[in-house]
Amino acid sequence: MRKCSWPARWRGFAATSVGLLMVILCLGCQEQAPPPPSTPAPAPEPSPEKIKSEIDPVLAPMQASLANPDAVPYSDELKNAVLGGLQTARTKNQASENGKQALAMVARDLETIISNARDAKRWKLLMAAIEGYEILSPGTTKMNRLKERAQLYLSRPIVTLQGFMKDPERKDTYAFLEVKLQPSNEVKAVQVRPGDEFFGLRFVDIVGDNKGVRLEYLAIPGDTWEVMTRR
């Protein structure tokens, strides 16, 4: 019996056709495959105002203490919390342009606190606010003079009037004062009369009928204040 066989050229054509069919099928499979997931676009950078709103609570305790010192007394804990929060805010935001703008806005709020604390003679609070300002504006010298003045006030002795004694022979009246030196808190007892100088202070005169004493702080000429007797 005679076998039927394809010529070689036809066998090659058939093989080529099968190969093309496989390529077409593979391409079809690739076209039907789902596309790979796209990478989400990065979130837009927060605005300076938004960043500032996130930093504002850091200053709130300092502002509250300035507005109502009896309700929110100044303390080292308050100071450390504010300064720590400002340092964290600067580290987080100093690398971006919007962050820098937000930090500059917070620095202007601190300038307002500094000005108000100076007017109220809240020297400890003033010094803390200046330290916060220097965290946000490193290298600045803008606050140097005010900082030096505040330091002088913080170094002023704290005086308590204990009473008076009149010397009939010399016709002088002496005041008994308790003087707490700053920052050592060392306590000294002195007996002085008007015109006497002691521990960087001068006894200017007696207030009223032995109601109190007026003292001058010699480190800041002309800076006087009154200390009244305890009742």
- Convert the pLDDT of each residue in 51-93 to its tens digit: 999 999 999 999 999 999 998 999 999 999 999 999 999 999 9
Domain boundaries, given as residue ranges, for the chain: 48-154, 158-228
Predicted local distance difference test score (pLDDT) of residue 13:
44
User: Phi and psi dihedrals of 166, rounded to 5?
Assistant: -100, 130
d(CA 202, CA 194): 8
- Convert the pLDDT of each residue in 88-142 to its tens digit: 999 999 999 999 999 999 999 999 999 999 999 999 999 999 999 999 999 999 9
CATH number of 158-228: 2.30.30
| Parallel, antiparallel or unpaired: strands 187-192 and 201-207 | unpaired
- Among 199, 230, 222, smallest CA distance to 213 is for 230
Predicted local distance difference test score (pLDDT) of residue 231:
67
Q: pTM for the full model? A: 0.74
Supply 26's token pair: 């593979």
Confidence of residue 32 (pLDDT cuts 50, 70, 90): low
Q: What is the DSSP-derived secondary structure letter of residue 220? A: S
With a CB cutoff of 8 Å and minimum separation 6, the contacts of 49 are: 102, 105
- 128: left (phi > 0), else alpha (psi -120 to 50), else beta? alpha
Assign 161 to helix, strand or coil.
strand
- Convert the pLDDT of each residue in 167-192 to its tens digit: 888 788 999 999 999 999 999 999 99
